[in-house]
Amino acid sequence: MDAVQKANSGHPGMPMGMADAAYVLWTEFLKHNPKNPEWINRDRFILSAGHGSMLLYSLLHLTGYDLPLEELKNFRQWNSKTPGHPEYGITPGVETTTGPLGQGFANGVGMAIAETFLAKKFNNKDFTLIDHYVYAIVSDGDLMEGISQEAASLAGHLKLGKLVYLYDDNNITIDGSTDLSFTEDRLKRFEANGWHIQQIDGHDRNVIRDAIKAAKAITDKPSLISCKTKIGYGSPNKQGTEKSHGAPLGDEEIKLTKQSYKFPSLEPFFIPKEVTNHYRKALEEGAKQEQEWNYLFDSYQERDPEQIKSFNSFINESSIDWDEALSEFPADAKGMATRKASGEILKKLSSVIPNLFGGSADLSPSNNTQIDSHPYSPENRTGRYVHYGVREHAMISIMNGINLHKGLKPYGGTFLIFSDYCRPAIRLAALSKIPTIIVFTHDSVGLGEDGPTHQPVEQLASLRLIPNTYVLRPADANETAYCWKIAMNRTDGPSILALTRQNLPTLDRNEVASADGTELGAYILMDSLKSIPDAIIIGTGSEVAIALKARERLLEQDIDVRVVSMPCQEIFRRQSEEYKESVLPSHITARVSIEAGVTNGWQEWVGNQGRSIGIDHFGSSAPYQTLFEEFGITADRISEEVRESLGTIKAKY
Amino acid sequence: MDAVQKANSGHPGMPMGMADAAYVLWTEFLKHNPKNPEWINRDRFILSAGHGSMLLYSLLHLTGYDLPLEELKNFRQWNSKTPGHPEYGITPGVETTTGPLGQGFANGVGMAIAETFLAKKFNNKDFTLIDHYVYAIVSDGDLMEGISQEAASLAGHLKLGKLVYLYDDNNITIDGSTDLSFTEDRLKRFEANGWHIQQIDGHDRNVIRDAIKAAKAITDKPSLISCKTKIGYGSPNKQGTEKSHGAPLGDEEIKLTKQSYKFPSLEPFFIPKEVTNHYRKALEEGAKQEQEWNYLFDSYQERDPEQIKSFNSFINESSIDWDEALSEFPADAKGMATRKASGEILKKLSSVIPNLFGGSADLSPSNNTQIDSHPYSPENRTGRYVHYGVREHAMISIMNGINLHKGLKPYGGTFLIFSDYCRPAIRLAALSKIPTIIVFTHDSVGLGEDGPTHQPVEQLASLRLIPNTYVLRPADANETAYCWKIAMNRTDGPSILALTRQNLPTLDRNEVASADGTELGAYILMDSLKSIPDAIIIGTGSEVAIALKARERLLEQDIDVRVVSMPCQEIFRRQSEEYKESVLPSHITARVSIEAGVTNGWQEWVGNQGRSIGIDHFGSSAPYQTLFEEFGITADRISEEVRESLGTIKAKY
């Protein structure tokens, strides 16, 4: 109450309503060491209803995390460790960024998947190395969002018994009573999803304790405990109403609330000594638990150093010998689709990266993502492939959770068009610096007959707009290999691979530059014959081969151009000015870009004198060759634009 | 089979598996007139599993819609009326564009809402003007997507009894058996959502008939009929397997299938005369049904011409006297948030537009969208406001359905950040030319303390990338009024209003240009004192007032600039070259844009010599004034950029 009041902004209702449940969970169940929030075998706690951040910050402060009271007083202020919604990487003990509803719910499913995999892989009769729960507090809003149904259905299917979610069932949303829009039988729905369900009085701590015990006792089903609570519990005039949801209670109401609780002081932020002492037992208890675990770890290591070496390589990023891992694809005019090249690369990577953990949103044969024919399942916890079902949004969010847990290296596939279905989870990966890898195949109108509902047009440009996101669009099989290397090595944000459905020639790297230029984001693929090119053509992905063809035609007309392949704008943007100038010298203003998507954004690279060839409208259903022809994604069109561009520039000077 | 084979692309499995159910529905239940697909009281049929388009095209052809056999032979070809997935506006009788899973499911909920409203409003004891069902075929994929849970929960809550969905329960997805990822108890989930459920043999036509009858008899619950089917039914070697899902069966298998059905000919596209005759009864029956309805309509009109006039104004776009509808907001330095202005405008509009139909995804008090305190509900079918719940994705898709039905003019609100949650539905509105109106408030870091999870940064730019989409970002209350006018008058695509949380000054239109310039997309808000400005500042929304302040400061330094307000790039782009040149003369290259979002895309307007002020990174949790200051969204920064820009340009020449 005090922090929200001081910030004059925030959500007091949820923290007050769920204080009882959170108190029981954090003081009697949660296995954690506040002094080491990174301890791998800790229980995970997720506040999926992130707007109640003050509940989490209070618990972190009280149990002894590195979050002084000053930070709570600084709630929602510039540079504080207590932002409006919990942010991973900002506050010690915050396991994931939440606020956009449903995301934390799905993240937890990912963490639980990782737990079962590592437990099965590394536990044995003598040593239980991994054995922890994933707890969350979820809200009405979480359960209304579609992503939570996707994740809940999969969690039930996968029998993730260590998932225990406390549902703040308070009958209140921002618009008012849940009677306005949310009258489904939630518990029955979760039962249908294969969950163990309970409904309890969320203010009776004995009942809460019993319910969590019961939930933990069920090992083959995730658990949802509906805690019937009053939002803003304890506030004499605002409890049970939406008025306590998203605004400070007011000084007077805070006073009345403290009085009704017989709180010993009305001083803001006053914490009685005995309360601190009571919560700080977590420090001692947590240190002891981790110490015991460390002892177990050491004994295990003594007994089986190889297994522990393997465990360490799972938990920490292990270095890969990329020369070993990636063999070159031979030149081939007929070539192959980059999705197919990706599939072959993945097969190789899966043998050198034992914790590579794939999946697809029910497009495995199209995405070429499958690396394990014995997928992950309740019966096969060490399967290295997840059939996520037609659940793109949950897939990405679950992968974020797997990454946050640590231990597995997840990637997942779907069509590029369906990036629209999972954008919020991609954004959170970018914001939280999570290295989730996404394989988006069928990356342009090149998918052909399925038509405009399935043809991405604005998606490449639109994904590039998300800060801290790599959009990698390789031009052939060998660039695809380097894109995988970039994605696998990235540690501080998501990587997106945009791959073709259609075949592309595998370029002859004796004729064109080495594909290792991919690692610089853009490179001179094939230069002009003379030292200063007449013009520059910039292409990405499937359009690079078209650019090369245009180069040949233009040569016949004595126009001598450079072709630049630009698989990743974000990476190129980070290169030195010298390198960028060497690829795109500023005095060469006759530039043409080609990409089978919207042209918006390309002006950054071609400049005002330049021209961009693309598709600034929706696609159409037809064989892809027809579409490229009709939409002008052709070598002829490039030649024409280059010639016109040269003409305009010459005329001007 | 034949069409997919000829196209060498497509999905034969679903049409074959659901042929029995569709046959019963279309020949015994569906009320429609193939000669007038626009008849308002027709039953709506949605193929939510749009990949089975050939089922729908076959039915449309057979029952006598304007879809000749030639078009079926032209399946998935350039300019055909039979694209890969059904597209609204391309094929007569296609009620909505489907393919991206879950969308058709939610569209149907919108159509059913519209039906109940119009029925309640215009039916009386003598005349039943509106009385039709909404049928759909939905698939495993539809049910796995989160959006369908959102829509199903709301449909159950709203007791939409005329929704009858046939679920193609074939146990097969692209990856293989549904056992791989989809083992939840679907029927129980729908029961929990308040639906009437049945499970039947989807190949037994008598059982199908009884099930549809039973579904229709339940008037207070939507119905889901699980039709247990075999995908690719009838194909001796491929039925029941994923092999028949997404690829042609092959000539030999087609032959075997026809033989197993004892089909009278192996000739591709052969349709026995008696089959055509049998289906074409729909022509006679449909004409009769519409004729009877027309008779009813005429009698109603005779009895109560006022009601029919009102009905007609609901169904057809009625013209609005905008001078009447919009009163000017007086100049006010303190001003108001554009979301607040929008709320006031909506109150006025709701009185002159009786079919205006609002809603919000549980952010009514924040979006200022509520126009009716007695919301739409099972008890109040003529309520003009829907509490959509925390279900952004379903909300937009439902609004698309309401629009497609005709009769109501829907708009709905949420925060701009959550545009990411509903992007696929916005895209389909754009592709299908549906005039859905979306109110996105809290449109920048200006929302302050909620932090980066809630602060849109790339969303404005990213929504502008969707073809055929208006992104309207008004600078003050009066521009907001014009933005509403634009949105209300638009008929061929979605309009997005991006509105502020924070107060903005209501500009004194005696000092600056009239807000009617908004209708041109961009206009000179305040010109330089001399005839040719030194530089141009372009701003949108909340940053326009900052631009005006910068103009004043620059004048003190003898720099005389023009300020352009650009509420809608898409509209401005469509203006004449003359007008565009008059606002942004090409010889004035010193240009600075300012918008509190990513700068990508602004080069189109400021050119290579210009500069763009924006936020190319995620936001942060703090009071908004701090954020604008820290992120350099200030008048000082503009002045600086203008000065530097002028310096660079002068140095160059």
The string of pLDDT tens digits covering residues B28-78 is: 999 999 999 999 999 999 999 999 999 999 999 999 999 999 999 999 999
pLDDT tens, position by position, A127-138 = 999 999 999 999
Tell me whether A516 touches chain B (CB under 8 Å): no
Best mutation target, B72, B98, B189, to test chain A (most A CBs within 10 A): B189
Bridge partners of residue A523, in order along the sequence? A565
Instruction: Determine the residue among A145, A416, A466 to mutate to test chain B binding: the one whose Cβ has the most chain B Cβ atoms within 10 Å.
Output: A145
Q: Is the pLDDT of residue A653 over 70?
A: no
Which region among A319-333, B76-90, B363-377 has the lowest average model confidence (pLDDT)? A319-333
Which residue of chain A is at minimal alpha-carbon distance from B190? A189
How far apart (Å, rounded) are the C-alpha atoms in residues B152 and B154?
A: 5
Evaluated on CA atoms B616, B618, B623, B624, the torsion sign reads positive
List CB contacts (< 8 A) between A78 and chain B.
Answer: 620, 622-623, 626-627, 630
Element (H, E) at A485: helix A477-489
Percentage above 90 pLDDT, chain B? 96
- Residue B419: closest C-alpha in chain A: A424
| Gyration radius of chain B's alpha carbons | 28
Q: Read off the amino acid at residue A513.
A: A
A146: number of Cβ within 10 Å:
29
Which whole number is the average pLDDT over B575-598? 97
Angle between helices A423-431 and A103-122 (to 10 degrees): 70
A451 interaction partners in chain B (CB closer than 8 Å): 76, 83-85, 87, 99
The answer to whether A451 and A511 are in contact (CB under 8 A) is: no
User: Which one, of B476, B489, B470, lies nearest residue B322 by Cα?
Assistant: B489
B308 shares contact with chain A (CB less than 8 Å): no
Contact list, B378 vs chain A (CB under 8 Å): none
Show residues of chain B in contact with A450, CB under 8 Å. Answer: 9, 84-85, 99
Strands (E), A52-177: 134-139, 163-169, 172-173, 176-177
User: CB-CB: which of B79, B97, B461 is closest to A465?
Assistant: B461
| Helix, strand, or coil (residue B626) | helix
Longest dimension (CA), chain B: 90
B161-215 per-position pLDDT tens digit:
999 999 999 999 889 999 999 999 999 999 999 999 999 999 999 999 999 999 9
Of A141, A391, A451, the CB nearest to B362: A141
Q: What does pTM read for this prediction?
A: 0.98
The helix-helix angle for A273-303 and A305-315 (nearest 10°) equals 130
Residue positions of B annotated with a catalytic role: 392
> How would DSSP label each residue in B188-207?
HHHHHTT-EEEEEETT-HHH
Q: What share of chain A has pLDDT > 90, as a percent?
A: 96
Distances (CA, A) of B452 to A97, A430, A494: 10, 11, 17
Which chain B residue has its CA at the smallest distance from A463's CA? B462
pLDDT of residue B650: 67
Provide the pLDDT for residue B44. Answer: 98
Span B291-314, average pLDDT: 97
Please list every residue in chain B whose beta carbon sits closer than 8 Å to the beta carbon of residue A618.
430-431, 467-468
Q: Which residues of B touch A184 (CB under 8 A)?
A: 153, 156-157, 192-194
What sign has the CA pseudo-torsion B521, B526, B529, B533? Answer: negative
CB contact under 8 A, A174 and B608: no
pLDDT at A325: 86
Closest Cβ–Cβ partner in A424, A618, A621 for B84: A621
Contacts of B79 in chain A (CB under 8 A): 622
Q: Do A420 and B418 touch (CB under 8 A)?
A: no
Distance in angstroms (rounded) separating the CA atoms of residues A111 and A130: 12
Residues in A touching B9 (Cβ below 8 Å)? 448-450, 623
Shortest CB distance from B391 goes to which of A98, A100, A144? A144
Cα A294 versus chain centre, distance? 31
The pLDDT of residue B652: 56
Closest listed residue to residue B567, CA positions, set B534, B535, B520, B610: B520
Distance of CA A113 to the CA centre of its chain: 15
Enter the ipTM: 0.98
Distance separating alpha carbons of residues B349 and B583, to the nearest angstrom: 31
For chain A positions 443-472, those within 8 Å of chain B (CB to CB) are: 448-454, 457-458, 461-462, 464-468
Average pLDDT of span A16-25 = 98
Given pLDDT bands bounded at 50, 70 and 90, which one contains residue A648?
A: confident
pLDDT tens-place string over residues B607-633:
988 999 999 999 999 999 999 999 999
User: What phi and psi values does residue B83 have, to the nearest 5 degrees?
Assistant: -65, 170
Helix ranges (DSSP H) in B218-318: 251-260, 273-303, 305-315
Chain A CA closest to residue B462: A462
Report the residue of A113, A143, A570, A621 to disrupt the B interface, i.e. the one with the largest count of B CBs within 10 Å. Answer: A621
> How many CA atoms within 13 Å lie on the side-chain side of B642?
29
- Average pLDDT score over residue span B273-296: 98
List pLDDT tens digits, range A468-510: 999 999 999 999 999 999 999 999 999 999 999 999 999 999 9
How does residue A327 score in pLDDT terms, banded at 50, 70 and 90?
confident
Taking CB atoms and an 8 Å limit, are B146 and A144 in contact across chains? no
The answer on pLDDT for A652 being more than 80 is: no
Collapsing DSSP to helix, strand or coil, A443 comes out as coil
CB atoms within 10 A of CB A151: 33
- Judging contacts by C-beta atoms under 8 Å, the chain A residues touching residue B466 are 458
pLDDT tens sequence across A548-584: 999 999 999 999 999 999 999 999 999 999 999 999 9
Distance from CA of A263 to the nearest CA of B (A): 29
The verdict on B492 touching A (C-beta cutoff 8 Å) is no
Distance from CA of A121 to the nearest CA of B (A): 22
Asked if B611 has any chain A CB less than 8 Å from its own CB, the reply is: no
Yes or no, beta carbons of B153 and A182 under 8 Å apart: yes
Average model confidence (pLDDT) for chain B? 97
Please enumerate, as own/partner, the contacts of A580-584 that have beta carbons within 8 Å and a separation of 24 or more. Answer: A582/A524, A583/A522, A583/A523, A583/A524, A584/A522, A584/A536, A584/A538
Task: Output the pLDDT for position A509.
Answer: 97
B residues 72-111 near A, CB within 8 Å? 76-80, 83-85, 87, 97-102
- The reply to whether residue B184 touches residue A417, judged by beta carbons under 8 angstroms, is no
Given a cut of 90, whether residue B325 has pLDDT beyond it is no
Give the separation between CA A366 and CA A370, rounded to whole angstroms: 10
Q: Is the alpha carbon torsion for B411, B414, B418, B422 positive or negative?
A: negative
Residue of B nearest to A379 (CA): B180
Q: Which of B390, B588, B599 to mutate to test the interface with A (most CBs of A within 10 A)?
A: B390
Q: For B180, which of A191, A387, A621 is closest by C-beta distance?
A: A387
CB pairs under 8 A between A and B: 328
Nearest-by-Cβ selection for A389 from B182, B430, B626? B182
Most B CBs within 10 A among A80, A181, A190, A457, hence the mutation to make, goes to: A181
B653 close contact with A: CB closer than 8 A: no
Please tell me which residue, A327 or A76, carries the higher pLDDT value. A76
- Which residues of A carry out catalysis? 392
Does A85 sit within 8 Å of B451, measured CB to CB? yes
Q: Give the Cβ contact number of residue B236 at 10 Å.
A: 11
For residues A250, A256, A260, A263, the Cα torsion angle rounded to the nearest 10 degrees is 80
**A180-228 tens-digit pLDDT:** 999 999 999 999 999 999 999 999 999 999 999 999 999 999 999 999 9
Among B181, B368, B369, B630, pick the best mutation site for testing chain A contact (most A Cβ within 10 A). B181
pLDDT at position A14: 96
Cβ A430–B618 below 8 Å, yes or no?
Answer: yes
The partner residue sitting opposite A622, judged by closest CB among B78, B462, B609, is B78
pLDDT in tens, B203-251: 999 999 999 999 999 999 999 999 999 999 999 999 999 889 999 999 9
pLDDT higher than 80, residue A530: yes
Please report which residue ranges of A196-332 form alpha helices under DSSP H: 205-217, 251-260, 273-303, 305-315, 322-325
A603 and B598: CB-CB below 8 Å? no
- Partners of A537 in the beta sheet? A563, A592
pLDDT at B292 over 80: yes
Contact B2, B254 (CB under 8 A): yes
Question: Per-residue DSSP letters for B108-149?
Answer: HHHHHHHHHHHHHHH--SS-------EEEEEEHHHHHSHHHH
| Contact list, A140 vs chain B (CB under 8 Å) | 390
pLDDT-based confidence at residue B653 (cuts at 50, 70, 90): low
Question: Is there a contact between A389 and B144 if contact means CB atoms under 8 Å apart?
Answer: yes
